[in-house]
Structure 1
Amino acid sequence: MAYRNTRRKLDDYAAADAWMRYDETLPLSLSYPIQFFVRMFSGGKTLVLQADSSDSVASVHRKIQSITGIRSIQSTSGVPRMEQRLIYRGKQLQLQQRLSECGVQNDDTLQLVGRMRSTRHPHTWKLMNDLNSLINDLCNCDDNTDVNANVTCMMKMLTDFLIMTPKDGADGSEQYLQIFIHSSVPAALVKLYVSPSLTTKQAARECICQFIDSFKTLFASPVYKQFSPILFEFCKILRGAVSVDDALYIFCRSSLASMMEWYVCDVKCVPRLQDVFPFFRELATRLSRALELSVQSAEFIPLSDSDVCEFIKFMHPVKCAIWRPEAFGSPVSFRSLMQRETGNECFEIEGVHRVFCDLLEKLELCLKKLGLINEERGEAIVSCWSQYLLILKELESISKLYKGMEEMFWEKIRQRRVELCFLIVRLSKKSTDYQWILEHKEVTNFKIRQQFALKMLQEGRHKNEKLYEMLICRSRLFEQSFEYIGRASPKSLQGQLFIQFENEEATGPGVLREWFSLVCEAIFNPQNALFVSCPNDGRRFFPNPASKVDPLHLEYFTFSGRMIALALLHRVQISIAFDRVFFLQLAGEDISFEDIRDADPYLYSGCKKILEMDTNTVDEDVLGLTFVCEDEELGSRKVVELCPDGKNTLVNSENRDNYVNLLVKHRFVTSIAQQVAHFAQGFADIITDQQLRKSFYQILDHEDLNRMLHGSKTVVSVKDWKEHTNYNGYKIDDPQISWFWEIVGSMSAEQRNVLLFFWTSIKSLPVEGFGGLDSKLHIYRTSVSHDCLPSSRTCFYYLCFPPYPSMDVMQNRLNIITQNYVGCSFGAQ
């Protein structure tokens, strides 16, 4: 029988008011026991009551009053007056009526309301009453009944109900749609659905599905919140009447899940935790079983995409319900949870925690299995792996709801760091998909952080954007490049760059790489006074405080930021790196005394001596220091006070820490703040997604960015070079190939770098070496004279030379092109 899983025995209580017993003297007709539901208008609760068909409506009121304390009838001057009313099929039930006279049957639903609201929508109440009568006739129909005609009529009634619904999404539509629930139409349709007849069952299914689909078609999304109580009602009744695997129940649940996001958008309308939790737990149980089967089986078993999607959608209102101010508004402490009066929410809040622990444990086992399989077989990508990451992301958000759980979550993730990185590298799409992981950089590796940094630069760019063409004169490289890049609109730089040098035919990726290398070399050239290199490491730079000698210096910094971002975007290593003080400012972090060690070792050493000096010595003013420093500006020196009245403030043992901090801040923050800001703006111009601009530097470590900019710092490996080179026209055992690698092996590191640049227009390899390039290198056999020098097609990594007759001849030709002034400007095509 329908709803058998929800039935329970309720005691019948004595009458609360003696005057309510007048109906007990009514004559009894043939009676039989029935069970029915009473839906409370206030609070959304539903009571399950048992009675005899001969019982009066007044006795039902007494049962409700005994259970809930709600006085359905009050006496005024001895005359009963209805305060609460029972509605069945759109009609108010009178006190003296018997349940049999009202037509109340097993598993029917009655509605308890305060005042009949039918006067506001009388036609709708009548429509619902007629619909109930039609459904009741179908439930009791015989084989001769024209079911199709009745179904057509039912569908028209349901459509008429939706057409008459106010479309403004305000209280009017909400109150109107509640009529559908109050008139017990959902219960009637479900009763029809669970009837023995397959014909009527199919009719009910078609009506319910078309009703829900029609609403989605007719109404804009803001009204979804008003419609969702109807879906809650269908799901609740269906869950008790059929299994959770029933197709109609799954359809209603999926439709409800699709509307949950509109609750998240409006925190004031978050549904009750008790209403949403059953769906959340139900889907979590399905996912848990699937994960357990995946661990136990030899292969990975894909999870249901719909289950994962619905789990996520129901989880959002669950989180909002727990986090809302009137609940906790902060991470939940289980001690306070047990001590406070939260009603039935205690059970749900604990239940969410149990779901979190269970799914996290199952996912840990799946990741462990993934690691073992990957080591043994190099398993190909499995569809369910992306689902693991989706669930982990949601579990991470749940962990923030409970005190201590977030730390526990990330500790477990760190233990499965290798497997997690394996998944991210192979499955990542958008950088924002895994922002939650990148906020905890310790569970990732450089490869992942580099991958997402590049995605941030690439996202939002248009592949079909018009080419941005530049014709550059080598003698005016810096000036013309500044005009093309620094003065361009950010949008014009979203397409592909096309570079051609004047009086040269060569174009393509190789020329582009050469242009990047040459322009960045000019930007960081000390003669341009834009950047200063670290004294102990000439490859590391930070903005020059004295750059203002050039009136265009801030525009040049904007240009520099754009060039660096574009170089990263095109994966061109430019053989420079940023000092820590520069990177920290770009990332929006504070600079400490220890951070200046490389940028200014002399200042660092001097400040360290001041901090470590004997207290008495400092207080005796042996140093003769005050809170001032000297700056050089346009060839002259000026004194700058580090604090108000700094020139009259002596440095002593109590304020020396403050003196050092102010000095560091002035030298490496205040004095270059404008330069850093313009560089950052230029860099941000290349990131089209504004939300990603602030997080680019946060996902990277200082050395991550330097690896991407500088590339490999190790000497070029001939073995690695040889392994990543193919041959066209030559065979690997040809004497010319053997001579070539023997000659390269005998070259100095500088000569190899020049040869590499001549061959590829690459000055530094990626940190992965030759394996990090976008393709292998190639050696081509040509038919030109032996007197000719090797040539290259840098776009395709081609090195071309004829079959030289001897090793000496080949070495002579290679020595010529590996001279720095030749290799950097000759032969590239």
Structure 2
Amino acid sequence: MSSLADPNPANDSRRLASAAAKRKLDDYAPTAADDDDFGADLLSIRMRKDELYSVQHSAFAPASSSSSGRVPWPLPHSPLPSARLSFSSRLQFFVRMISEGKTLVFQANSSDTVQSVHERIQAITGIPVIEQRLIYRGKQLQCEKSLAECAIQNDAGLHLVGRMRSTGHPQAWQIIDDMISLVCRLCKGETVPYALKTIRTRISEYLSMTPKDDGDPATGHLQIFMSSSAPAALVMLYMSPIRGNKEHADDSIRHFLDSCISELPKSLRSRCAPIVLEFCKLLRRIASDDPLYTCCRSSLGSMMEVIKVSWLLEHAESVKRAISIQEIFPFVSELADRLSKDLELSLISAASVGSWSDVLDFTMFLRPLRTAICGLKCFKHPISLPLKKKHHDVLMCTEEVELLSQIFEEMLMKMNKCLTGMEERLSAEVSGEIDIAHPVWSRYLTILKELNAISKIYLGSEERFWTILSTRKCALCMLVVRYAKRNDDHKWLLEHKDIMDFESRRHLVMMMFPEVKEDFEEQHEMLIDRSQLLSESFEYIANAEAESLHGGIFMEFKNEEATGPGVLREWFVLVCQAIFNQQNPLFVACPNDRRRFYPNPASTVEPLHLKYFNFSGRMIGLALMHKVQVGIVLDRVFFLQLGGYSISLEDIRDADPCMYNSCKQILEMDAEFIDSDALGLTFVREVEELGLRRVVELCDGGKGIVVNSKNRNDYVDLLIKHRFVTSISQQVTHFAQGFGNILSDVRLQKFFFQSLELEDIDQMLHGSENDISVEDWKAHTEYNGYKASDPQIVWFWKIVSEMSPQQKKNILFFWTSVKYLPVEGFRGLASRLYIYKSTEHLSRLPSSHTCFYRLCFPPYPSMAIMQQRLSIIAQEHVGCSFGTW
């Protein structure tokens, strides 16, 4: 299969723009901002050459030829360099407060002015420039001159004179200063005993003493790490060619990331994001696939959930916990490029799989970026491209908004090709040509989910996204069934249920239920008397805490030995049939389809009817959760209300054919005839309760409103609403509450039904409508003690194939406790079926172990004897009672 090289030159602009976005991450100058006031002191500013490294090994050196041609970082207060900087143009110096013992790290160009150094000192110390004097070789330096013009060498010493101020965090400064001093010694090649342990200890001490209140003191404390250039010092150690330094730095930085979680409360962890961002900026210059950089990037991504992303870099500085779109976007662009390459490789080989962490990071950085863009008030949403650059606010983020759209388009096209390739491979698998695993496919759903979220930002993109997915329906459904996980958010898929098949929709809604547990200690235990089946089941289920039903159910019938899943399946079937039995007043069967039910408006004759509706909702939810087909289905008017939908005339066709036909005639009657009042109708309805009839107004003053050609639509709507909504609203509400109790989240109750078609819930609750296929039955049956060619097995299948459909159902129920097969047939059962040779006397009837789908019988000597034995258990009253162990 060919690669996905794009021949379209129009996409060159996307790649160039993407490269520009990545360079934004490189456009970094270490900051030196701090809220603390420093004292007037003689500050010794040592500008010294880094004798430890050659240019190509320096943490701040220009990128090498292997760095994908990325532009090197501009140094502070200098324009973006157009060529590599020479070593002589760079100065590194440490600022030490003699009285406090604090050390600050700076870098500068020799072309920088003395004024720029003054300004940076003001930013870190708070000492106004006007009060500063820089002294070198006994002379005061002139602000307008450059450092080179002042003949300042790399190893020169400068002195700063200022007035005394105080600092609010002297101990924190001392700890970080000690750590940086140790790092400097390691970079110079000194041997420092227990260096790694000391650095880790200093980091832990520094974070542990952070003020716990999420306010200015905590912010000032954490800014010390940045103001002292500790990240730059640790990255320099990571870049050091001296043996052991890289490992020390790697461990120390990872320890900082871990300690942010272990040492700080959740409310403060987000305050470390600027520090982690600093590490990312510094480390990314090494390589975008450097393991330590990847680790820092993932840590920053995990912090994005609690960090506000501002639309503007300047605005971010004034917003608490804000990081700008300009700072976040390069990560999105970088990860999008990596994922695009992985998608290309997945078309060539299923073994070419990139890092799963790239997919996760992509989602974590995208979410706050999308939120920030959607919050831009300068755009009309969804955003129409190309942008009209009328406002300053628009100009500041135009590039990012347009680039995100280009990322969406490129990745959508590649996903389309990948899904097409999936369908081709699936077709080959079906034909038996290949049978291999495709691990990269597991990431497609996550990428598609993010693309769907991006599509909502731009005008017309969402329609394009779903149009493409609708053409790749086969691949999408396979992804859903095979890779959708319980803890994932599937709402985006279920909102477009029409492009999925029944199997994928069922798979997604089933994950709204808790996972059935097999731990007996956590199961809800019941002991039921068959003669009191409904009342005792009601007591056990209706009065139970909802949480106790989430762990599963263990039940047994009184005076019976059988237990396990088979008995539980029988209980579900029997209780649901009792609930919907027409001798009970809870539900009404539809005249046109006796399998279908909706709440009975006259259920009020039962004093506990609302509690029973809650119980009914729990039972239906539990049956679905345990995947038991109970032979009961809901009528459309009931199903729609559970989903929060309104009822129309066509929806009542099965529930009340008489009312349907009458309303249909009223709507189709000649206008003159109905206006003549020949029908004598007003806006009222007659209701029968306990044998008594009464008149109910459909609206205020309904008795006085005559039905005519102009208001007949309103009359029909109100009639239907009163008959199928108002009169059963309490029953529907309590059923819905009971059903919601069984879901993992009760708030999903309406969405559960909105995510399905009526036919879906029919198949999940009732099962297959087809007669049992004996050939399918045989294909899913194995033998123990018998062989398929044994006479008893041959006789068995011949006898079963000649039985009536009902007898076959009775045999299957006796064997498995499954009364209604899933829509997939025997393939949809929990396991295969088994026939065991028993050692029972030949006079004994067959027995079953329904939990394990086992049917047991001795080797009957003739087909006639076997037929006589099977005919007994094929009877309704025998086949529907369970065999014992």
Give the shorter-chain TM-score range: 0.7 to 0.9
Aligned amino acid, residue 273 of structure 2: S
Deviations 1:785-818 (A, max 9, x none): 5554433333333333344444344333333333
For residues 217-252 of structure 1, give each alpha carbon's deviation from its aligned partner in whole angstroms, at most 9, with x where no partner exists.
422232222222122223224434x33233443343
Asked if 1:321 corresponds to 2:372, the answer is yes
Counterpart of 2:512 in 1: which secondary structure?
helix
Rate the CA distance shift 1:246–1:415 in 2: closer, same or farther, 3 A: same
**Hey, what does 2:89 align to over in structure 1?**
34
- How many Å apart are 1:536 and its aligned residue? 1.2
Letter in 2 for 1:57: V
In structure 2, what is the Cα distance between the partners aligned to 1:816 and 1:128?
87
Residue 694 of structure 2 aligns with which residue?
638
1:227 aligns with 2:272: yes
Establish whether residue 594 from structure 1 lines up as the match of residue 638 from structure 2: no
CA shift for structure 1 position 784: 4.7
SS in 2 for 1:792: strand
Say if 1:303 and 1:387, in contact at 8 Å, map to a contact too.
no
Q: What corresponds to 1:21 in structure 2?
A: none
Is residue 2:350 matched to residue 1:290? no
1:703 counterpart = 2:759: yes
Q: Which runs of 5+ in 1 are unaligned?
A: 14-30, 39-46, 65-69, 72-79
Q: Could you say which residue in structure 2 is the equivalent of 1:236?
A: 281
Give the whole-Å Cα distance in 2 for the aligned partners of 1:135 and 1:305: 34
Q: 1:384 aligns with which of 427, 431, 440?
A: 440
Which whole-Å CA distance do the structure 1 matches of 2:827 and 2:254 have between them? 56
Partner of 1:482: 538
How far is 1:659 from its partner? 0.6
> Given residue 348 of structure 2, which amino acid in structure 1 is its aligned partner?
Q
- Once the two structures are aligned, what percentage of the paired residues are identical? 50
Give a deviation string over 1:239-296, Cα, whole Å, max 9, x none. 34x3323344334333322322221699974421000111121122112112212223
Matched residue, 1:451: 507
Letter in 1 for 2:519: K
CA contact (8 A) 2:740 2:748 kept: no
- Report the CA distance between 1:407 and its aligned residue: 1.7
When residues 562 and 48 of structure 1 are mapped into structure 2, their CA distance, relative to the original with a 3 A threshold, is same
Aligned to 1:538: 594
2:867 corresponds to 1:811: yes
What amino acid maps onto 1:770 in structure 2? Answer: F
Query: 1:305 corresponds to which residue?
Result: 356
Cα shift at 1:631 = 0.8
Which letter maps to 2:351?
F
Give the match's secondary structure for 1:629. strand
Are residue 750 (structure 1) and residue 836 (structure 2) matched? no
TM-score (norm 2): 0.79
User: Conserved in 1, the CA contact under 8 Å of 2:449 and 2:492?
Assistant: yes
- Of the three residues 669, 673, 676, the one matched with 2:725 is 669
Q: 2:142, 2:177 → 1: CA distance?
A: 16
Letter in 2 for 1:505: E
Q: Distance in 2 between matches of 1:270 and 1:81?
A: 27
* CA deviation map 1:589-638 (0-9, x unaligned): 11111111111111111101111111111111111100000111111111
The alpha-carbon distance between structure 1 residues 349 and 379, as it changes in their structure 2 partners (threshold 3 A), is farther
For 2:134 and 2:697, the matched residues in 1 are separated by 83
- Mapped to 2, the partners of 1:772 and 1:806 lie a distance apart of 33
Separation (CA, whole Å) in 2 of partners of 1:321 and 1:560: 46
Task: Give 1:288's aligned amino acid.
Answer: S
The answer as to 2:445 corresponding to 1:397 is no
CA distance 1:86–1:411, change in 2 (3 Å): farther
Question: 2:147 aligned to 99, 108, 120, which one?
Answer: 99
Q: Is the 8 A contact 1:561 1:682 kept in 2?
A: yes
Partner of 2:791: 735
Q: Secondary structure at the match of 1:507?
A: coil
Q: Partners in 1 of 2:298 and 2:155 — Cα distance?
A: 25
Are the structure 2 counterparts of residues 698 and 460 from structure 1 closer, same or farther at C-alpha, using a change threshold of 3 Å?
farther
Q: Does residue 612 of the first structure (1) align with residue 663 of the second (2)?
A: no
Aligned to 1:427: 483
Conserved 8 A contact 1:461-1:688: no
| 1:245 aligned partner | 289
Return the match for 1:349 from 379, 401, 408: 401
Aligned to 2:218: 173
Indicate how the Cα distance of structure 1 residues 104 and 521 shifts in structure 2: closer, same or farther if over 3 A, else same: farther
Q: Deviations over 1:712-751 (max 9, x none)?
A: 0011112212222223343323333333322222222222
Q: Bigger shift: 630-639 or 732-741?
A: 732-741
Q: Which AA in structure 2 matches 1:99?
A: L
TM-superposed deviation, 1:457: 2.3
1:662 Cα deviation after fit: 0.5
Residue 555 (str. 1) matches residue 611 (str. 2): yes
2-structure distance, mates of 1:558, 1:32: 79
**Is 1:791 paired with 2:842?**
no
The CA distance in 2 between the partners of 1:270 and 1:659, in whole Å, is 57
Q: Judging changes above 3 Å, is the alpha-carbon distance between structure 1 residues 697 and 183 closer, same or farther for their aligned structure 2 residues? A: same
Tell me if structure 2 keeps the 8 A contact 1:513–1:761: yes
Tell me how far 1:160 sits from its aligned partner: 5.9
Cα pair 1:511 1:794 within 8 Å, conserved: yes
1:657 Cα deviation from its structure 2 partner: 0.6
Match of 1:516 among 572, 583, 589: 572
Q: Select which of 358, 372, 375 maps to 2:424.
A: 372
- Offset, 1:170: 1.3
Q: Quick check: 2:817–2:882 contact (8 Å CA) kept in 1?
A: no
Deviations 1:486-537 (A, max 9, x none): 3333344334433333443333333222222222222111111211111111
Q: Distance in 2 between matches of 1:87 and 1:704?
A: 80
**Structure 2 residue 72 is matched with structure 1 residue 6:** yes
Preserved contact between residue 686 and residue 695 of structure 2 (Cα < 8 Å) = yes
Q: How many residues align?
A: 776
For structure 2, the 5+ residue unaligned runs are 1-54, 63-70, 80-85, 94-105, 311-318
SS at match of 1:499: strand
Cα deviation code 1:49-82 (max 9, x no counterpart): 8554xx75137789x9xxxxx99xxxxxxxx984
TM-score normalised per structure 1 = 0.83
Instruction: Give distance in 1, aligned partners of 2:809 and 2:199.
Output: 81
Between 243-252 and 511-520, the greater mean CA deviation after superposition: 243-252
Q: Specify the SS of the correspondent of 2:89.
A: strand
1:350, distance to aligned residue in structure 2 (A): 1.5
Provide the rounded CA distance (Å) in 2 between the counterparts of 1:738 and 1:200: 77
CA distance in 2, matches of 1:503, 1:206: 66
Whole-Å separation in 2 of the counterparts to 1:807 and 1:59: 104
- Provide the residue aligned with 1:436 in structure 2: 492
Contact 1:516 1:572 in 2 (8 A): yes
| Cα 1:185/1:394, change in 2 over 3 Å | same
**Alpha carbons 1:85, 1:116 under 8 Å: kept:** no
Report if aligned partners of 1:472, 1:501 keep a CA contact under 8 Å in 2. yes
**2:316 is matched with which residue?**
none
Q: Cα distance 1:404–1:387, how it changes in 2: closer, same or farther (>3 A)?
A: same
Q: Deviations over 1:631-676 (max 9, x none)?
A: 1111111111000000111111111111101110111111111111
* Greater mean deviation of Cα atoms: 349-358 or 727-736: 727-736
Instruction: Report the residue type matching 2:358 in the other structure.
Output: D
Conservation of the 8 A alpha-carbon contact between 1:8 and 1:48? no
CA shift in 2, pair 1:99/1:594, >3 Å: same
Say what the alpha-carbon RMSD is for the aligned residues. 4.0
8 Å contact from structure 1 (residues 579, 599) kept in 2: yes
Shift of 1:98: 6.5
Distance 1:477-1:165 versus aligned 2 partners, 3 A rule: closer
Aligned pairs for 1:648-667 within 5 A: 648-667=704-723
Higher mean alpha-carbon deviation, 285-294 vs 611-620, is at 285-294
Structure 2 SS opposite 1:528: coil
